[in-house]
Amino acid sequence: MKKSKYNVAVIGAGVVGVEMLRVLKQRQFPVDTLKVFARSTRDINVDGQVYSVQAITPEGFNGVDIALFAGTEGEKGAAVTYAPEAVKRGAVVIDNGADFRMDVKVPLVVPEVNPQDVKKHKGIIANPNCSTVQMVVALNPLHKKFGIKKIIVTTLQASSGAGIGAVHQLNEETGLIAQGEFKSVQVQAKNKYMPQQLAYNCFPHIGSFVEGDYTNEEWKLVNETHKIMHAPKIKISATTVRIPVRTGHSESVYIETAKPVTPEQAKKILAKAPGIILMDEVKNNLYPMPKDVEGRDETFVGRIRQDAFNKKGLWLWIVADNLRKGAATNAVQIAEVLIK
């Protein structure tokens, strides 16, 4: 697929689809023609540029080289219906939804970790879950050097990870509370997109409860990490929490390694690793926070410290923009690897 420019389609005009359009432009992806598909026809404005959205049809993929599906977490995405149609017409599909991630025939790719897996595609490449992406970007350099045996992670995930409806719910609830309607906010809020009140609250429930009373979001961190890092023996346990933040997922991650590792060794490796910004000066109150990473493509790491009782135990604090590195940017980066 070596060309000077490529015909690209973005499927979805929600928060991730819009971010894909933004990232394609900002990263100067070599686009020849650009189509935007959604359920219905309309115009959308992204940073002052108007895009004409077409109603999605199988025939719309004629001539498309790369199809970026924005996906909908927790639901069957448009890719289930239209990815085979796009592939049949010669496109390579990069899907941000969950439908193909664990398919043995579909590579699941984070370019900083396993870019070589792109070559194994048979028409479809899967983009991992947002919380998985930032974790493996940060942990893979340490795994290659010290061998990770166990991961315990608690994610603190922003409202935008659940879609624009969750962002509207957070904004409305915050406004009601600001007006003094704290006790009745759940009753009065019209946008009830999530299972609990989010403003001035957090709750350990992302996705649906499945095996072992873990949620499917928590199992994604297990299964996707094993697949991306080609390390099925790592023991992983996760808790996923929704917090009242607009954009930017944070993760408190504990790892146990095969070889002893000091914070200084970890910092030295991470400072040189691709796609990572080390932000760890606790004396100056410098550490990653969601408000500072919004709109950024890197994964930020800080609060690196050794387990006081285990020389092979290390804590890390990992933050990234879930709409960009956790979704749109990673998908475009996969496309960049694909055309090299």
Strands (E), the chain: 6-11, 31-38, 42-46, 49-55, 66-69, 92-95, 124-126, 148-157, 235-242, 249-257, 276-278, 299-307, 310-320
Coil, helix or strand for 53? strand
Residue 170: φ, ψ to 5°: -60, -45
More confident residue, 186 or 267: 267
Q: Look up 130 and say whether it is catalytic.
A: yes
Q: Which CATH topology does 132-158+202-322 take?
A: Dihydrodipicolinate Reductase; domain 2 (3.30.360)
**How does residue 1 score in pLDDT terms, banded at 50, 70 and 90?**
low
Strands (E), 181-334: 235-242, 249-257, 276-278, 299-307, 310-320
The pLDDT of residue 290 is: 98
> Shortest CA distance to 220 belongs to which of 64, 89, 96, 87?
96
Please give the structure tokens belonging to residue 118.
Answer: 């792109």
> Shortest CA distance to 152 belongs to which of 30, 58, 251, 275?
251
Where are the chain's structural domains? 6-128+327-339, 132-158+202-322, 163-195
pTM of the model: 0.95
Report pLDDT digits (tens) over 21-62. 999 999 999 999 999 999 999 999 999 999 999 999 999 999
DSSP states of 266-288: HHHHHHHSTTEEE--BGGGTB--
Q: How long is the chain?
A: 340
Distances (CA, A) of 36 to 28, 88, 160, 331: 17, 19, 21, 15
> Shortest CA distance to 292 belongs to which of 246, 242, 243, 244?
246
Residue 157: φ, ψ to 5°: -105, 135
Q: Look up 249 and say whether it is catalytic.
A: yes
Coil, helix or strand for 297? coil
Report pLDDT digits (tens) over 298-339. 999 999 999 999 999 999 999 999 999 999 999 999 999 999
Same fold, 6-128+327-339 and 132-158+202-322: no
Please give the structure tokens belonging to residue 296.
Answer: 């950024």
Residue 188 has pLDDT above 80, yes or no: no
Report pLDDT digits (tens) over 116-162. 999 999 999 999 999 999 999 999 999 999 999 999 999 999 999 99
Q: HSE (CB half, 13 Å, CA atoms) of 295?
A: 3
**How does residue 181 score in pLDDT terms, banded at 50, 70 and 90?**
confident
> Shortest CA distance to 327 belongs to which of 42, 93, 94?
94
62, amino acid identity: N
In the predicted model, what is the mean pLDDT of the chain?
95
CATH number of 6-128+327-339: 3.40.50.720
Report pLDDT digits (tens) over 196-241. 999 999 999 999 999 999 999 999 999 999 999 999 999 999 999 9
Please give the structure tokens belonging to residue 96.
Answer: 């941000």
Report pLDDT digits (tens) over 60-100. 999 999 999 998 644 567 899 999 999 999 999 999 999 99
- Using CA atoms, how far apart are residues 8 and 61, in angstroms rounded to an integer? 9
Catalytic residue among 121, 130, 202, 205: 130
Q: What percent of the chain has pLDDT over 70?
A: 97
